Amino acid sequence: MIFSLEKKVVVITGGGSGIGKAIAECFAAQGGIICIIEVNEATGQATVASINDKGGQAICIGCNVANQMEMIAAYQLVMQQFGAIDILVNSAGIASVAKLETTSEDDFEKVFQINVKGIYNSMYAAIPHMKKRKKGIILNVASIAATLGISDRFAYSMSKGAVVSMTLSVARDYVREGIRCNCISPARVHTPFVDGFIKNNYPGSESEMFEKLSNLQPIGRMGRPEEVAYLALYLCSEEAAFVTGCDYPIDGGFTKLNT
């Protein structure tokens, strides 16, 4: 089967919702053994139940990605139970809607802790296990905000720029260790966060704002989480064995066709 992940042990942070959930379900359908790392154990367990009900294999470990000791312990549990971490997908993240002068120090620190330190902690905990086996695949979820100026996304853009930089650094430092590292940069994807953002900020005008945000992508709509998952599947499969140190936009033409 092309893009098979049969018996591959896959760790996915933030696998309880949005893009992370779609990746977990997609990878499980390809035979992967899914280990979800979630601070919200209820959503993580819901994804696990959905996967297991369809004949897949998944577990959830409650963990705060910003806590390094928790992450190290979580990945040790994965190793004890499955003996390997073949694939790591870092999808956990939070958003921030503000420009510099309206971003409080607390908000900036919260975004940094989850979106930057969280990915550092995850890779820090996983790479020693991958090095011992001389193989491993890492995929980080960045954003087009990493490389484009997007209004009212100061802290979020900062954090995703760091994700791209960390990806390139890890790819270079560990290429001789048999570890590949890439990242993907989605534009706006229709997730529960988008629905909540529109509801909270544009009450009574939800449909109009949804259409406006959809049309910002030249293709005329938002992405679907499963479409991001399909790109992730390729990059984490053996078919992409020659691919490392790259950032892949998946944006409905936003990056190139809006310029």
CA-CA distance, 187 to 143, in Å (whole number)? 6
Residue 191's nearest CA partner among 33, 51, 43 is 43
115, 66 Cβ separation under 8 angstroms: no
CA-CA distance, 163 to 116, in Å (whole number)? 6
Q: Where are the beta strands (DSSP E) in 105-165?
A: 136-141
The answer to whether 156 is a known catalytic residue is yes
List 75, 120, 156, 174, catalytic entry: 156
User: Hey, what are 38's tokens?
Assistant: 């979630």
CA-CA distance, 40 to 38, in Å (whole number)? 5
Q: Which residues contact 170 (CB under 8 A, 6 or more apart)?
A: 123, 127, 138, 179, 181
Catalytic residues: 156
